[in-house]
Amino acid sequence: MWAGAAGQSFLRGVRNLDRVERVYCVNPKGGELDDGTPLYHSLAEIPDDVDYVISAVPASAILGLIDDVVAKGVRAIHLFTAGFSETGSGERAELEREALRRLREGGVRLIGPNCMGIHSTRGGVSFMESASRVAGRVGMLSQSGMNASEALSRGQPRGVRFSNVASFGNAADLNEADFLQFLADDPDTDVVLAYLEGIRDGQRFLQVAKSMAGRRPLAVLKGGLTEAGGRAANSHTGSLAGSAQIWRAVQRQAGFMPAESVDELLDIAVTIERMPEIAGPRAAVLGGGGGVSVLAADICDRAGIPVPWFGERTQERLRGFTPLAGTSVRNPLDAGFMFEGEHLEAALTAVAEDESIDWMMVHTGTDSGFRGGDRGNFEERFAAKLGELAPKLARPLAVVIRPPSSASGFQSGLALQQRLNEAGIACYGSLEACVTAVRRYLDWQTHPART
């Protein structure tokens, strides 16, 4: 059931993924779309069984549609349609309850209302017209369609590929516990991300989350934990967001990873997919710039990531090819020279063999003048070298591309990131982002709920 621009956007999402055999469009006015796609006057008119319906009709037309859906024997309906309990109006909340009552009687499951619904790369349905057609192993549930869309679109340059994503809005029928259960068992999913506002079924959510501990990583961004945010969540999805204190207790008990933004969710996914073998927090920090190195060490320390001095043997090896002035061979290794040719291999190899560290973080800027001496084709050569080296190094490697401030720096950063993605190297947009995600993942690994 398609109405106007929104409906056609879902149609383009399905066509972009190109996996669904038969899609039918309905509009009471009939006629056809610009590309010749016929518009059926009603569901009943479609000369075929229908499994799944996406509704973009106005809320006022919803009960008629639902009666048609039940009569047609549809299995599930997604209501993009909004204007129900989230408005705070008693009448609209009653309409939502009545819709749900009729669907339940008819044995039809409901996603929404007031949501973007399902993105399933393999299933061929998406709320995103230009979603990547490459299926990945990251699943997501999100009470907000926009945050789900942001995860998909911001995940694209990060190399984070999704399996199944559900935006479920008011959660009148299927709720967070249902989607979490699905993703906990989904054979196409390895890592689960969540954006939640209210919790409909806290008991079951906690139980499913606990069952995932030690088995399938789960990271949750909880919106509405402050007073102002809680009020906004109530306006958005009619959710009662609950107190930060209770949520922290839930988080501690279930052992999932907390996140504070969509980008943090993606950072966690990158860490788990590309540095699964990280064995402890102690970092080696390598990159150019004394002041940047000092701040990097502060950032690590505050995030609970120690930056211990390298052993004497490592310092000696580094001193072998380090100019004395303006650099430090202790840790952080303040070493712009490192980005030039053969020194990179020598430095990384020496550091990777140091017993005092668990992982290595190389940081670089991409604005002209902030990426060491090696400027022509920097990203190509740097990524090629790292891609060749990383599998041979004794410790996992992360790369931080510091935020650019020029268009050329952004382009160069995107290109570098893409090449690092291809080489399977974990890549982050800031030092904070990297160390926060690593810390979260390590905490998850050692959480007592893990069995």
Residues 1-30 that bind a second copy (CB under 8 A): none
Strands in 182-244 per DSSP E: 191-196, 218-222
Binding a second copy by CB under 8 A: which of 42, 328, 349, 445? 328
List the structure tokens of 305. Answer: 């990531």
Q: Return the residues of window 100-119 that contact a second copy according to CB under 8 A.
A: 114
User: What is the smallest separation between the CB atom of 215 and a second copy, expressed in angstroms?
Assistant: 28
Instruction: Count Cβ atoms below 10 Å from residue 320 Cβ, excluding itself.
Output: 10
CA 397 from centre of chain: 21
Which of 405/451 has CB closer to a second copy?
405
User: What is the smallest separation between the CB atom of 2 and a second copy, expressed in angstroms?
Assistant: 17
User: What is the smallest separation between the CB atom of 381 and a second copy, expressed in angstroms?
Assistant: 20
Binding mask 49-88 for a second copy (x = CB under 8 A): ---------xx---------------------xxx--xx-
Q: Are strands 25-26 and 39-40 parallel, antiparallel or unpaired?
A: parallel
Which of 227/422 has CB closer to a second copy?
227
User: What is the smallest separation between the CB atom of 388 and a second copy, expressed in angstroms?
Assistant: 27
Which of 40/309 has CB closer to a second copy?
309
User: What is the smallest separation between the CB atom of 379 and a second copy, expressed in angstroms?
Assistant: 14
Q: Give me the helix-helix angle, 407-422 and 378-389, nearest 10°.
A: 20
Which of 128/386 has CB closer to a second copy?
128
List the structure tokens of 441. Answer: 């993942």
Which of 56/177 has CB closer to a second copy?
56
Binding a second copy by CB under 8 A: which of 15, 137, 216, 330? 330
Which of 213/285 has CB closer to a second copy?
285
User: What is the smallest separation between the CB atom of 316 and a second copy, expressed in angstroms?
Assistant: 15
Q: Give, for 132, the enclosing helix (H) or strand (E).
A: none
User: What is the smallest separation between the CB atom of 391 and a second copy, expressed in angstroms?
Assistant: 28
User: What is the smallest separation between the CB atom of 146 and a second copy, expressed in angstroms?
Assistant: 4
Q: Return the residues of window 382-421 that contact a second copy according to CB under 8 A.
A: 403, 405-407, 410-411, 414
Query: Is there a contact between 439 and 304 (Cβ–Cβ < 8 Å)?
Result: yes
User: In terms of Cα–Cα distance, which of 267, 253, 273 is closest to 209?
Assistant: 253
Residue 291, sorted as left (phi over 0), alpha (psi -120 to 50) or beta, turns out to be: alpha
Window contacting a second copy (CB under 8 A); options: 117-125, 270-278, 318-326, 337-345: 318-326
Which of 167/271 has CB closer to a second copy?
167
Window contacting a second copy (CB under 8 A); options: 68-76, 248-256, 325-333, 381-389: 325-333
Q: Return the residues of window 193-212 that contact a second copy according to CB under 8 A.
A: 195, 197
Q: How far apart are the first and last CA of the chain?
A: 46
Size of the site for a second copy (CB under 8 A): 75
User: What is the smallest separation between the CB atom of 400 and a second copy, expressed in angstroms?
Assistant: 14
Q: Return the residues of window 278-317 that contact a second copy according to CB under 8 A.
A: 288-298, 300-302, 306-309
List the structure tokens of 358. Answer: 């668990």
Separation between Cα atoms, residue 18 and residue 293, nearest integer Å: 48
Q: CA 106, 108, 112, 115 torsion: positive or negative?
A: negative
Which of 50/155 has CB closer to a second copy?
155
Which of 24/287 has CB closer to a second copy?
287
User: What is the smallest separation between the CB atom of 211 and a second copy, expressed in angstroms?
Assistant: 26
Q: Return the residues of window 124-183 that contact a second copy according to CB under 8 A.
A: 142-147, 149-150, 153-154, 156-158
User: What is the smallest separation between the CB atom of 116 and a second copy, expressed in angstroms?
Assistant: 10
Q: Return the residues of window 215-234 that contact a second copy according to CB under 8 A.
A: 221, 223-229, 231-233
Query: Is there a contact between 327 and 337 (Cβ–Cβ < 8 Å)?
Result: yes
Window contacting a second copy (CB under 8 A); options: 94-102, 118-126, 183-191, 363-371: 363-371
Separation between Cα atoms, residue 212 and residue 140, nearest integer Å: 14
Window contacting a second copy (CB under 8 A); options: 100-108, 174-182, 247-255, 330-338: 330-338
Query: Is there a contact between 216 and 191 (Cβ–Cβ < 8 Å)?
Result: yes
Separation between Cα atoms, residue 84 and residue 144, nearest integer Å: 15
Instruction: Count Cβ atoms below 10 Å from residue 304 Cβ, excluding itself.
Output: 13
Separation between Cα atoms, residue 136 and residue 112, nearest integer Å: 25
Residue in this structure with the two tokens 């309990």, named with its chain if needed: 85
Q: What residues have CB less than 8 Å from 235, skipping those under 6 apart?
A: 86, 88
Which of 70/112 has CB closer to a second copy?
112
Separation between Cα atoms, residue 84 and residue 40, nearest integer Å: 26
Give the total residue count for the chain: 451
Q: CA 92, 239, 82, 87 torsion: positive or negative?
A: positive
